[in-house]
A = this chain, B = another copy of it.
């Protein structure tokens, strides 16, 4: 089987054309000399979790941010990396394939070779299992040729998304030692980057010289925090899905007799659903975050959709398109509680056939109410991250079924007077995941590959490669690295009055920010979307001509660039220091002292753990 990997393959005309596309590099990474500026030591976004995190990660917590700058940049204390010895780097695909993953390999390979032609890049075959088994493929120009700017993870393959158990971590350590790796680059989402942080800590503890770098690649778009604006693959997935959603909208409007219920792959958070809604303007989207925040029940949701169907029927509209994130099912409070009971019985080793009889009376009542197909799906074993098997639970069918039942009831009662309700259900995910990556994802991934090299060249361990200011052109992207531990939070669960348990520090999936600008854009337009059928078709993913350079709307409307603003703040602090040098006037010193005392006080209050137990992100 292994012999199949890396073999040149036949490409279609468009694939060939794409394989010749050369992504641009930001100015700071052009040429062979890069300056590294270290910022202040990092803290955790959640101050209340900081001590837990620092205890779990004594070697890798609190490291400074790193910024990569042009060699000519005038920054005090920046360090120019001049030595580039030949190094050996391993790379592994962890978790689900996202369009653009291959370009991280390409970028890393180019950066390695341009700095020292004797450096070696080894790809692990078959994902984490290849890492444990030390099965590698040396990445060369020949191997890369037919994989540049192409989708999938098929150059190396992937298996499980976990490097977590003691056996797994030890196997990884053994592999890195045996292969004499200077660096290990892990490509993946929240789970894989949490594992990367753990590996980095373990390696540091074990005095293993291999430095671990994480790269944010996940179609879910949920690896988002103050350092990471978006993920490789998210743009492509949303574009492909939006094309299909728009096609279905056009279809609905042409035939005027169907309601389409479309579930979107994207795990717990609703980023994909939100982005696709802003791109294609379907009639409705039910974000898991809204449902969780308002504690909407299955009954509430059904009523909400039925009311919409009824209102539209009153305007003679008997068609529509409704988006549902796959994570929705876990956001509905009573279903979540039921799933927790089922998963707990799984953990106790209760067989699937016996689970339903051992549910609490309340959970059992809900379970018995549900149609058979969904019962079977809810009983599936949970995933590695303890969530339900979201891709297998047909929430769209459940909702369509409940809505149909309720609409038929209203029809009998005479409150609904529209045409017969016809639902068609879809799940969009697998058919988008293997797409050719968009230009944005090609560029983003390729540059992240380069940044990964510079992280290793700077000798950093337990960092994630980051690019910020992404909504601007590539020439304005900021290249940096942030410690993985700075992205972690610690979850607390209330188990009844007064009793809480504390989870392990982890990088958790970011949920849709209900106070953010993207969500605001949705709420401003929701009524128009619902009633006016202002469907918009972004069209199929283009590589030339109009639309080829489009970026996610959710990325473009947010004022992100946290790293840029951190740098801006540091410039202010430098300026104050420069002005208030010994010898300055009493008045200047007095004004500075007074102003800084007040700033410090405000910020102290704002960042104390008690003021904000929640993660601000």
Contact = CB atoms under 8 A, between A and B. Distances in A.
Contact of A536 (B10, B316, B434): B10
Contacts of A18: 539
Nearest to A98: B254
A178 interface: no
Interface stretch (A203-211, A245-253, A328-336): A245-253
Interface in A1-30: 1, 4, 9-18
A281 to B, nearest CB: 9
Contact of A543 (B10, B243, B542): B542
A414 interface: no
Nearest to A93: B254
A157 interface: yes
Given A154-B253, A159-B255, A244-B244, 16 more contacts: A1-B317, A10-B534, A15-B536, A15-B539, A154-B254, A157-B253, A157-B254, A158-B254, A158-B255, A240-B540, A243-B435, A246-B434, A434-B537, A540-B542, A542-B544, A543-B545
30 contacts: A1-B317, A9-B534, A11-B537, A12-B536, A12-B537, A12-B547, A13-B538, A14-B547, A150-B537, A151-B250, A152-B251, A152-B253, A152-B254, A153-B254, A154-B253, A154-B254, A157-B255, A157-B256, A247-B433, A247-B435, A248-B431, A250-B434, A250-B435, A435-B540, A436-B537, A436-B540, A539-B543, A540-B540, A540-B542, A542-B542
Contacts of A252: 434
A124 interface: no
Interface string A224-252: 00000000000000001001101111111
Q: Helix, strand, loop or mixed for chain A's interface?
A: loop
B546 A433 contact: no
A537 B154 contact: no
A419 to B, nearest CB: 11
A424 interface: yes
A97 B251 contact: yes
Contact of A14 (B1, B430, B538): B538
A84 to B, nearest CB: 33
Interface of A: 1, 4, 9-18, 96-97, 126, 150-154, 157-159, 240, 243-244, 246-256, 260, 315-317, 424, 426, 428, 430-436, 533-534, 536-547, 550
A431 B157 contact: no
Nearest to A316: B1
B426 A431 contact: yes
* 6 pairs of A and B residues whose beta carbons are closest in the complex: A250-B434, A544-B545, A152-B250, A247-B434, A14-B539, A1-B316
Contacts of A433: 247, 251
A430 B260 contact: yes
A253 to B, nearest CB: 4
Instruction: Pick from A1, A10, A240, A540 the residue with the most CB of B within 10 Å.
Output: A540
B253 A537 contact: no
Contacts of A431: 244, 247-248, 426, 428
A151 B10 CA distance: 32
Nearest to A252: B434
A152 to B, nearest CB: 4
Contacts of A251: 97, 152, 430, 433-434
A16 B3 CA distance: 47
Contacts of A126: 256
A523 to B, nearest CB: 19
Given A247-B434, A433-B247, A434-B247, A17 B97 contact: no
A398 to B, nearest CB: 15
Contacts of A13: 538, 546-547, 550
A540 B243 contact: yes
Contacts of A436: 537, 539-540
Contacts of A315: 1
Contacts of A151: 247, 250, 537
A252 to B, nearest CB: 8
A255 B97 contact: yes
Nearest to A547: B14
A170 to B, nearest CB: 25
A377 to B, nearest CB: 14
Contacts of A153: 254-255
Contacts of A538: 12-14
